[in-house]
Amino acid sequence: MSKYCFGVDVGGTTVKLGLFSTEGDLLEKWEIPTVTEDGGKAILPDIARSIQKMMDEREMARDEVVGVGIGAPGPIDSEGTVYGAVNLGWGTFSIKKELQTLLNVPVEAGNDANVAALGEMWQGGARGYENVVMVTLGTGVGGGIIVGSRILPGATGAGGEIGHMHVNDKEEIACNCGNHGCLEQYVSATGVVRLAKEKLAESDRPSALRDTEVTAKDVWDAAKKADPLAMEVAEDFGWILGKALASVACVVNPEVFVIGGGVSKAGDILIDYIQKNYQKYAFTGCRGALFTLAKLGNDAGIYGAARMVLK
C-alpha cells in the first residue's frame, strides 16, 4: 500500500498545499486563498476541506495518509502551538490539535522559516545532511535550524531567528523588531540596497548603480560585471553575514548552510562572498561547513511541512 503525506504552507494571501509520497515525490500541488477575516478562524477548516477533497478525489483511505504538516508565519513550539501570527489574524492556540480534530490524521506544525529549512534538507540544497542552517534572504532575513533531521523550534518558537542577531553597536535606525543593529538591517534585500545607497553617497565615484532606483538584484548584477562600488557592497554584505554565520556555527556547528530567499537568486557569487568571510571568523572545528544555494524556491515550505510528519 502506498503511503502519502500532505504539506501545507500558510501565507498571508494564499495557502500552498502539496500531496507527497512518503519517499519525497511531490505528486500534486495547489493553492487556496487565505481568509484572514474574523481572526483567521476559517483558515484551518478551509485547509481541512481542501485536503479532504483531494483524498476523496484520489480515493485515499485515511490510513494511507501518514499525516499533515503545516508551516505558518509565527512562533510555533514543538507541541504545535502558535503564539500569535499577526499576518493571519491568529492568536495563541494549538494548530496541531485543531487540525487533527478536523482531519482525524496526525498533524505537526512549525514556523514557516524552520519548515522551509527542513524542506531543503529533505529534497533541496541540503539533501543528504542532518545538521543544517538555512538563511532566507528576502525583504527580511529568516532562518531555520535543523539538528539531527529535526527542526529546532526553541522554547518559544524563536529558534533560528538569526535575522535579529545584533551585529552593529552604532546603528541609529530601528529594525522592524524594535532593536537596533540586527543582521536583517544589512543583508536582507532592503539591507543590501541600503548598503549600496550609503556607499553611493560617500563619494561620486562612477558606478552602474548611480542614478538608478537601485534594487538588490542590480547590486549583484553589477558586482558580477566587476563594478568596483558594487563589489565593495558585496564585500560588506559577505563580511557582515559571513561573520554572523561563524557565530551561529559556534552554537550549532552545522554540516551545511543553505542560502535561500529572493536575494539568493544572485547565485554562486553570493556564496563566494559569504564563505570567504565565514572562513576567516569560524572556529577551527566549524570551518569545514559547506555552503549551498536553496533549490526548492517557494515549494520549500510544502516539502518541509510534509517531511515533519515522517519519523
Q: Which residues bind a copy of itself (CB under 8 A)?
A: 75, 78, 83, 131, 143, 145, 147-148, 152-166, 177-179, 243, 246-255, 281, 283-286, 288-289
CB of 10 to a copy of itself, least distance (A): 19
C-alpha 18/C-alpha 225 separation (Å) is 39
Cβ closer to a copy of itself: 179 or 215? 179
Least distance in Å: CB of 153 to a copy of itself?
A: 8
Residues 242-252 as b/e (b if ≥16 CB within 10 A, e otherwise) read bbbbbbbbeeb
Strands 107-111 and 90-94: unpaired
Looking at the Cβ atoms of 290 and 310, the one nearer to a copy of itself is 290
Q: CB 6 → a copy of itself: shortest distance, Å?
A: 25
C-alpha cell at 303: 516539502
**What is the C-alpha to C-alpha distance for residues 285 and 60, in angstroms, rounded to an integer?**
48
Residues 197, 209: Cα–Cα separation, whole Å? 9
In the complex with a copy of itself, the residue whose CB is nearer, 119 or 254, is: 254
Angle between helices 228-252 and 216-224 (to 10 degrees): 110
Residue 32, classified by CB atoms within 10 Å of its CB into exposed (0-12), middle (13-18) or buried (19+), is middle
For a copy of itself, give the closer residue by CB, 289 or 309: 289
Q: What residues contact residue 36 under an 8 Å CB cut-off, 6+ apart?
A: 12, 43, 87, 88, 89
CB 112 within 8 A of CB 301: yes
Query: What distance in Å separates the CA atoms of residue 108 and residue 31, rounded to the nearest whole number?
Result: 20
Q: How far is the CB of 15 from a copy of itself (least distance, A)?
A: 24
Give least dist CB 84 to a copy of itself, A: 10
- Rounded least distance, CB 169 to a copy of itself, Å: 8
Whichever of 154 and 297 has its CB closer to a copy of itself, that residue is 154
For the CB of residue 47, give the shortest distance to a copy of itself in the complex, in Å: 25
Least separation in angstroms between CB 154 and a copy of itself: 3
Specify the residue, 219 or 256, whose C-beta has the smaller distance to a copy of itself: 256
Task: Tell me the C-alpha distance between 155 and 76, whole Å.
Answer: 9
Bridge partners, 69 (sequence order)? 7, 108
**Closest-CA residue to 60 (of 96, 118, 19):** 19
Comparison of 131 and 207: residue with beta carbon closer to a copy of itself: 131
Residue whose CB is less far from a copy of itself, 62 or 288: 288
